[in-house]
Amino acid sequence: MPAYNAARWIGEAVDSVLAQTYGELELVVSDNASTDDTAAIVRSYDDPRIRLETTSELIPPVHNHNRSVSLSRGSFVKFLHADDLLMPTCLEEMLAMALDDERIGLVFAPREILLDDPEDEENVAWRQEHERLSDHFAGLEERNDGRALFREVLASGIESNWVGEPSAVMASRACLDRVGLFDPRLRQIADLDLWLRIMLFYDVGYLSHPLSAYRHHAQSVTATNARLGRDWLDRLWLLESLAAEPSLTGEERAAVVRLRSAALRQAVRSQARHLASRRFWSVRDLSAYGGYRTRALVTRRPQSGHRSPAPTEQEPPR
């Protein structure tokens, strides 16, 4: 559970973990130098299964996600954001599916959406549009060929995350050891990038009923990134990561390259808008991408970025 200034919600999130019907678990809370009562609330629980690890300085959000996974010790990793919730049978059901077939690297399920203001028309419309992401897949079964799911998303243009946010997902440790963790170059769609990489090598389990709840609110990382435009290069970085994947077929690689070209054009247009509004931090992002492409052209060996070092600038997750 990565957390930053989550005092408003983290108690409910922890309670939802402790209420699981499967109790052989550890809850690792990676507190990202919070300035509110997040750490104090976690310390107030008298349960040996809870472990709080606090950073001394603020780190980028995706790095804190990776830190929380690296600190955990289980053979399976259930992601949970500090403002989300798990249904009581979530661990039991997901773990049973994962244990049933070692070829399954990822298990996911739909999630309910909790709105801070359920009367707000925009929030209600957002929930209606995003509540059943998995319906975009054609004919999901309990066990699915991951490569087939990858090709479905690729054929769609990789426009959205059909699996869902991290709180909707469980992954095996062996799977994460093989494909890596969240790509720190990405600010918004690092989860989608990881799910796609897992699909290339593993089968995917699916449970058709909601097993988590996603909280949609204005203080979330998602809302902040969208408001400030921090994710303007995300799509390009995701496609660079896929283009560097040697296991792609020729047809798959050609599709990725076409999408990358379109994403580059979109990024250039976005950069122009940033410059017009004097958001000069985006120049640093463009410089980082330009350096990557230059190195790739010189070495002719583009590198996947999910194990790359921290970005040059830090930014608060909220």
Q: What is the distance of C-alpha 263 from the center of its chain?
A: 20
Reduced to 3 states (helix: H, G, I; strand: E, B; else coil), residue 241 is helix
Phi, psi (rounded to 5 degrees) for 154: -60, -45
Q: What is the pLDDT of residue 116?
A: 80
Task: Answer whether 68's CB lies under 8 Å from 100's CB.
Answer: no
Q: Give, in words, the CATH class of 2-228.
A: alpha beta
Pair of tokens at residue 299: 């070495």
CA distance 292 to 295: 5
Q: What is the pLDDT of residue 305?
A: 57
Strand partners, 53: 30
CA distance 252 to 246: 11
Q: What is the pTM of this model?
A: 0.86
Q: What is the pLDDT of residue 256?
A: 98
Count of other CB atoms within 10 angstroms of residue 86: 22
Q: What is the pLDDT of residue 230?
A: 61
Q: What is the pLDDT of residue 220?
A: 55
CA distance 12 to 63: 24
Phi, psi (rounded to 5 degrees) for 182: -70, 140
Task: Answer whether 189's CB lies under 8 Å from 87's CB.
Answer: no
Q: What is the pLDDT of residue 314?
A: 39
Q: What is the pLDDT of residue 291?
A: 73
CA distance 41 to 28: 14
Per-residue pLDDT of the chain (318 residues; tens, 9 = 90+): 999 999 999 999 999 999 999 999 999 999 999 999 999 999 999 999 999 999 999 999 999 999 999 999 999 999 999 999 999 999 999 999 999 999 999 999 999 999 887 778 888 887 878 888 999 999 899 999 999 999 999 999 999 999 999 999 999 999 999 999 999 999 999 999 999 999 999 999 999 999 999 998 766 555 454 544 567 889 999 999 999 999 999 999 999 999 999 999 888 877 776 666 665 555 566 667 677 767 776 666 555 556 433 333 333 333
Nearest to 167 by CA among 63, 235, 83: 83
For the chain, the structural domain boundaries read: 2-228, 234-299
Strand boundaries in the chain, DSSP class E: 2-3, 27-31, 50-54, 76-78, 85-86, 104-108, 111-115, 143-144, 169-172, 203-206, 212-216
